[in-house]
C-alpha cells in the first residue's frame, strides 16, 4: 500500500478551557460557587470584589502624614480624663477606654490554663461527658466509680448498652466482684439523665422511662404491663382488639397505653448527638407584581467581581518581562472567569424565566395545577442542549410565594388524559393526597377506587400507577389505613 500525504478541511467541536470552566460553574450550587469565587480571589491578583465604589485612590505622603497626626490627636483627646465629673456620671460613661483592672488570663504554664480555656469555649457536652459528670456527683465508692466509668464508656450514641454480656464478664474479671454488684451500679446509672439511658434493649429503655413517670399518669400501669409482658412487634401490628383480649382490658384502654408508649424516646442519647443543619439558599426569587410574575437572581449569593484597575494599568503590551507575563496571564484568567460567571447567571435566569412561564398556573393555584414539563421543553424553547438545562437546574432552588422549591421539582412526566391532553405527575399526586385526606376513616379508598375517581376528573391512569404515586407520598395502603383508624 502506497503511503501519501494530503490536506483535508473539516470542522470539529473542541472543548476549550474557557468552555470547560463555564460548564463546570453552571452546575455549581450556591455554596460551591462561593468557594470557587473565593479561591479565584485568593489566587488571581487581577480579580477584586466590587463593593460599589469607584477606583481606589492611593493617598500621597502629605495625606498620610495629616491622617497620622489626626489619629494621634484623637488618641490624645481620648486619653485625657476630665477633672470634674458630673454627679450622676459613671466612670465608663466618661472614659470608656479604661476598664476596671482584672486578673490576667492564665498562660499555658499555669495550672488552671486548660480549665480557663474550656470555660471560654461554647460547646454542648456529649453524652459521655454528661453521664461522667453525674457519676462524679453520685455517692459511688471508689470501686463502684471505676465500674461506672467502664459502663458509661460502653454506652453507644443512642444511649444503649448493646454488648452488656461481654462487658459484664470483663467487669467481673477486672474487679473480682459478683454480678449483683455490677447490676447495682448499672441500676444507679439507669436513673441518670436522660431517662432510659444505659438500657440493654429497647424494652428495658421504655420500661425505665415509664417507671420514672408519676404514678398518676393515665394508662401508665397498662403501658408497663404491655412493655414487660408482650413483644414490641405486637404494637406495630396495630391489632388493638387482639391486644385487649389478651390483656383482658377494653380496646380504648389499650389505645391510651399505646399512645403513651409512643411518646417515649427509644434513643435517649439522640439529644446529645450533633445534627448538622443544612440550609437552603435560593438562587432565584419569584414575586408577583402589578405587571405579572417577576424573576430575579439572588444578588447576595455571590459578590460582584471586577478587574483590578491598578494592576491593569501596570500592564505594558511591549514588555515581556516575567512580571508582565504573570500579570497578562492573570488578566486572561480573570476575564475567562468573569465571562463564565456572567454566562452562568444569564443561563440560570433564562431557565428560571422559562420555568415560571410554564408553571404560572402552579404559582397561582397550587400543586394540582402543575403542568407537565421536561428538560426537552425548556431546551427547545431556549435553543440550548438538554444537558445545559440539567446543569442549570441541579442543586439550585427558587423562592416563590408558595415556598422554596428545587428547580428540578417543576419538571415531571406526562400522563395522558381522556380529552387527548396531558397531566403532570405532580398534579396527580396532589389529587391523590387530597382524596385520601378527605376519605372516611372507616372506609379508606383503595387504589382501584382512586383510579376511578381520577378517571372521573379526566385523568386515565392504571391502578399500579396510582399505587406507585401513593407510595411516593408515603401513604400506606387502604387495609393499613383501615387498621390504623380502628
pLDDT in tens, 258-272: 889 989 999 999 888
Domain final residue, candidates 392, 410, 428: 410
pLDDT of residue 135: 93
Task: Give buried/exposed letters for 29-42 (b at 16+ CB in 10 A, else e).
Answer: bbeebeebbeebee
CA separation for the pair 48, 32 (Å, rounded): 19
Sequence-ordered list of residues with C-beta below 8 angstroms from that of 86, at least 6 positions apart, any chain: none
Q: Within this chain, do residues 245 and 263 fall inside the same structural domain, yes or no?
A: yes
Answer yes or no: are the C-beta atoms of 212 and 149 closer than 8 Å. no
Residue 279 in domain: no
- Could you give phi then psi for residue 267, rounded to 5 degrees? -125, 90
- At residue 103 the predicted structure's pLDDT band, cuts being 50, 70 and 90, is very low
- At residue 52 the predicted structure's pLDDT band, cuts being 50, 70 and 90, is low
Q: Within this chain, do residues 245 and 165 fall inside the same structural domain, yes or no?
A: no
Domain final residue, candidates 410, 429, 460: 410
Residue 241 has pLDDT above 60, yes or no: yes
Q: Within this chain, do residues 137 and 195 fall inside the same structural domain, yes or no?
A: yes
Structural domain for 318, as ranges: 284-410
Residue-by-residue DSSP string for 76-101:
HHHHPPPSS--TT--HHHH-TT-PPP
pLDDT of residue 212: 92
Residue 114 has pLDDT above 70, yes or no: no
pLDDT of residue 98: 37
Sequence-ordered list of residues with C-beta below 8 angstroms from that of 474, at least 6 positions apart, any chain: none
pLDDT of residue 70: 45
Answer yes or no: are the C-beta atoms of 383 and 390 closer than 8 Å. no
Q: What is the pLDDT of residues 128-171, one digit of tens each?
A: 999 999 999 999 999 999 999 999 999 998 999 988 888 888 88
pLDDT of residue 276: 60
Residue 208 has pLDDT above 90, yes or no: yes
More confident residue, 429 or 92: 429
More confident residue, 73 or 49: 49
Number of domains in the chain: 4
- Which of helix, strand or coil describes residue 225? helix
Residue 85 has pLDDT above 60, yes or no: no
Share of the chain above pLDDT 70, in %: 81
Sequence-ordered list of residues with C-beta below 8 angstroms from that of 160, at least 6 positions apart, any chain: 198, 199, 200, 201, 202, 205, 267, 268, 269
Residue 23 in domain: no
pLDDT of residue 275: 59
Q: What is the pLDDT of residues 277-308, one digit of tens each?
A: 667 889 999 999 888 899 999 887 777 888 98
Residue 426 has pLDDT above 50, yes or no: yes
- At residue 94 the predicted structure's pLDDT band, cuts being 50, 70 and 90, is very low
Q: Within this chain, do residues 303 and 383 fall inside the same structural domain, yes or no?
A: yes
Among 95-99, 298-302, 449-453, where is mean pLDDT lowest? Answer: 95-99
Return the CATH number at 175. 1.10.10
Residue 141 in domain: yes
Domain final residue, candidates 375, 410, 445: 410
Residue for cell digits 414487660?
228
Q: How many helices (H) and strands (E) does the chain have?
A: 23, 8
Mean pLDDT within 42-69: 60
Q: Within this chain, do residues 393 and 321 fall inside the same structural domain, yes or no?
A: yes
Q: Within this chain, do residues 194 and 206 fall inside the same structural domain, yes or no?
A: no
CA separation for the pair 91, 100 (Å, rounded): 10
- At residue 1 the predicted structure's pLDDT band, cuts being 50, 70 and 90, is low
Q: Within this chain, do residues 345 and 431 fall inside the same structural domain, yes or no?
A: no
Among 93-107, 193-207, 218-232, 244-258, where is mean pLDDT lowest? Answer: 93-107
More confident residue, 18 or 466: 466
Mean pLDDT within 85-114: 43
Q: Within this chain, do residues 248 and 340 fall inside the same structural domain, yes or no?
A: no
pLDDT of residue 126: 84
User: For 273, which DSSP code?
Assistant: S
Q: Within this chain, do residues 193 and 212 fall inside the same structural domain, yes or no?
A: no
Residue 165 in domain: yes
Residue 359 in domain: yes
Residue 116 has pLDDT above 50, yes or no: no
Mean pLDDT within 370-380: 91
Task: Give buried/exposed letters for 439-472 (b at 16+ CB in 10 A, else e).
Answer: beeeebbbbebbbeebeeeebebeeebbbebbee
User: For 443, which DSSP code?
Assistant: B
Q: Within this chain, do residues 421 and 481 fall inside the same structural domain, yes or no?
A: yes
Mean pLDDT within 354-373: 92
Residue 52 in domain: no
Q: Is the peptide bond preceding residue 392 cis, with omega within 30 degrees of 0?
A: no
Residue 25 in domain: no
Residue 51 has pLDDT above 60, yes or no: yes
Residue 387 in domain: yes
pLDDT of residue 233: 74
- Could you give phi then psi for residue 47, rounded to 5 degrees? -100, 140
Q: Within this chain, do residues 357 and 388 fall inside the same structural domain, yes or no?
A: yes
Q: Within this chain, do residues 434 and 459 fall inside the same structural domain, yes or no?
A: yes
pLDDT of residue 56: 39
pLDDT of residue 60: 45
Amino acid at each position: 500500500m502506497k503511503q501519501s500525504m494530503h490536506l483535508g478541511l473539516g470542522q470539529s467541536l473542541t472543548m476549550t478551557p474557557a468552555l470547560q470552566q463555564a460548564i463546570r460553574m453552571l452546575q455549581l450550587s450556591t455554596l460551591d460557587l462561593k468557594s470557587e469565587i473565593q479561591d479565584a480571589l485568593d489566587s488571581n491578583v487581577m480579580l477584586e470584589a466590587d463593593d460599589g465604589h469607584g477606583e481606589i485612590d492611593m493617598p500621597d505622603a502629605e495625606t498620610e502624614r495629616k491622617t497620622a497626626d489626626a489619629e494621634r490627636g484623637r488618641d490624645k483627646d481620648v486619653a485625657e480624663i476630665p477633672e470634674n465629673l458630673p454627679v450622676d456620671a459613671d466612670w465608663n460613661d466618661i472614659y470608656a477606654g479604661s476598664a476596671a483592672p482584672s486578673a490576667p488570663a492564665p498562660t499555658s504554664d499555669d495550672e488552671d490554663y486548660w480549665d480557663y480555656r474550656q470555660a471560654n469555649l461554647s460547646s454542648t457536652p456529649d453524652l459521655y461527658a454528661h453521664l461522667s459528670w453525674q457519676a462524679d456527683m453520685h455517692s459511688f465508692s471508689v470501686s463502684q466509680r471505676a465500674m461506672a466509668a467502664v459502663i458509661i464508656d460502653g454506652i453507644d450514641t443512642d444511649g444503649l448498652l448493646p454488648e452488656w454480656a461481654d462487658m459484664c464478664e470483663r467487669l467481673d474479671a477486672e474487679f473480682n466482684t459478683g454480678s449483683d454488684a455490677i447490676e447495682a451500679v448499672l441500676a444507679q446509672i439507669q436513673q441518670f439523665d436522660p431517662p432510659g439511658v444505659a438500657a440493654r434493649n429497647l424494652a428495658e429503655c421504655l420500661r425505665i422511662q415509664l417507671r420514672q413517670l408519676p404514678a398518676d399518669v393515665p394508662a401508665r400501669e397498662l403501658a408497663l404491663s404491655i412493655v414487660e409482658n408482650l413483644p414490641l412487634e405486637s404494637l406495630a401490628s396495630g391489632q388493638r382488639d387482639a391486644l385487649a383480649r389478651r390483656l383482658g382490658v377494653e380496646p380504648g384502654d389499650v389505645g391510651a397505653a399505646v399512645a403513651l408508649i409512643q411518646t417515649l424516646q427509644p434513643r435517649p442519647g439522640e439529644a446529645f448527638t450533633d445534627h448538622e443543619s443544612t440550609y437552603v439558599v435560593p438562587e432565584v426569587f419569584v414575586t408577583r407584581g402589578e405587571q405579572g410574575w417577576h424573576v430575579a437572581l439572588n444578588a447576595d449569593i455571590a459578590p460582584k467581581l471586577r478587574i483590578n484597575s491598578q494592576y491593569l494599568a501596570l500592564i505594558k503590551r511591549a514588555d515581556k518581562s516575567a512580571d508582565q507575563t504573570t500579570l497578562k496571564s492573570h488578566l486572561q484568567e480573570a476575564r475567562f472567569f468573569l465571562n463564565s460567571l456572567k454566562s452562568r447567571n444569564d443561563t440560570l435566569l433564562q431557565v428560571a424565566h422559562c420555568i415560571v412561564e410554564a408553571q404560572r398556573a402552579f404559582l397561582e393555584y397550587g400543586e394540582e395545577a402543575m403542568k407537565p414539563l421536561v428538560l426537552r421543553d425548556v431546551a427547545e424553547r431556549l435553543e440550548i442542549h438538554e444537558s445545559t438545562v440539567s446543569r442549570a437546574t441541579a442543586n439550585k432552588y427558587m423562592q416563590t410565594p408558595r415556598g422554596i422549591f428545587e428547580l428540578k421539582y417543576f419538571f415531571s412526566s406526562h400522563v395522558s388524559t381522556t380529552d387527548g391532553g396531558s397531566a403532570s405527575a405532580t398534579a396527580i399526586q396532589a389529587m391523590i393526597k387530597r382524596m385520601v385526606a378527605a376519605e372516611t376513616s372507616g372506609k379508606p379508598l383503595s387504589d382501584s377506587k382512586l383510579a376511578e375517581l381520577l378517571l372521573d376528573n379526566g385523568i386515565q391512569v392504571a391502578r399500579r400507577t396510582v399505587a406507585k404515586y401513593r407510595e411516593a407520598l408515603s401513604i400506606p395502603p387502604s387495609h393499613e389505613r383501615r387498621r390504623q383508624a380502628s
